[in-house]
């Protein structure tokens, strides 16, 4: 039985089978996001179904799943990471002028992602949840943070990024703080993932009230067949 305490053990599967079901593609026991939304997938127990769902020679991004694929699935990457959960006090509203971002803001969001490289971001990634931003006096989007996985009882904070020219002003902290406020207001708890090697970001999140829940390893594999 899945509970809010255990849904973080398989956040991709629990998101796709509940609050992100409208963004999912599924075949048998396998499930994945629409490729324009995200590359994350969960195999369940059926590797053949996942291979058919993704197609030959495509990447299966298994995120934090510990499942081991058949021998003919080519390893593509392995990234040690950390899963953090929010355990602090909900922050007060910030004086930073934060704006909600929508479809019309996508070109500016894409430009910020390309300049800062916080992680995967696809044409429909903003459909995963709320995205907030900060613009400078010229209207340029200089900082952003959003929501990603949503297993029952939780909402993941992701895509936290700031242009180098705007760093040191507390913009990322203000954006994360506002997301924490909104997530708590709807009855969820915030969580996030980051690369284990990103110690600078870890210190920032710890100051904001996040604590380590578990270490994870994100892995990607190429499905059999097709061109490498």
Say what the pTM is.
0.94
- How much is the pLDDT for 6? 85
- Whether 26 has a pLDDT exceeding 80, the answer reads yes
Side by side, which strands form the sheet with 41-42? 24-27, 30-33, 41-42
The reported pLDDT for the residue numbered 180 is: 98
pLDDT at residue 228 is higher than 60:
no
End-to-end CA distance of the chain: 39
Say yes or no to pLDDT of 28 above 70: yes
Mean pLDDT of the chain: 94
- Number of Cβ within 10 Å of residue 205's Cβ equals 22
Q: What is the pLDDT of residue 1?
A: 52
**∠ CA 87-88-91 to the nearest 5 degrees?**
135
Let me know: does 4 contact 153? Beta carbons within 8 Å.
yes
pLDDT computed for residue 226 by the predictor: 77
Question: Tell me, what's the pLDDT at 65?
Answer: 84
Q: Comparing 120 with 157, which gets the higher pLDDT?
A: 157
pLDDT tens figures, 155-207: 999 999 999 999 999 999 999 999 999 999 999 999 999 999 999 999 999 99
């Amino acid at each position: 039985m899945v509970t809010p305490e255990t849904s973080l053990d398989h956040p991709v599967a629990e998101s796709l089978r509940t609050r992100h079901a409208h963004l999912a593609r599924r075949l048998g026991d396998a499930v994945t996001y629409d490729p324009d939304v995200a590359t994350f997938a969960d195999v369940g127990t059926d590797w053949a179904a996942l291979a058919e769902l993704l197609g030959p020679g495509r990447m299966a991004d298994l995120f934090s799943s510990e499942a081991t694929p058949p021998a003919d699935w080519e390893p593509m990457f392995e990234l040690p990471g950390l899963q953090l959960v929010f355990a602090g006090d909900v922050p007060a509203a910030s004086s930073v002028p934060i704006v909600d971002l929508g479809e019309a803001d996508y070109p500016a969001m894409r430009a910020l992602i390309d300049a800062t490289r916080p992680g995967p971001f696809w044409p429909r990634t903003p459909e995963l949840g709320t995205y907030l931003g900060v613009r400078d006096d010229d209207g340029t989007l200089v900082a952003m943070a959003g929501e990603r996985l949503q297993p029952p009882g939780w909402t993941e904070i992701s895509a936290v990024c700031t242009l180098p020219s705007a760093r040191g002003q507390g913009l990322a902290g203000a954006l994360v703080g506002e997301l924490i406020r909104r997530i708590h207001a709807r009855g969820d708890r915030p969580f996030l993932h980051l690369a284990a090697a990103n110690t600078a970001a870890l210190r920032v999140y710890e100051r904001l009230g996040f604590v380590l829940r578990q270490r994870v390893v994100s892995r990607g594999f190429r499905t059999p067949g097709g061109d490498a």
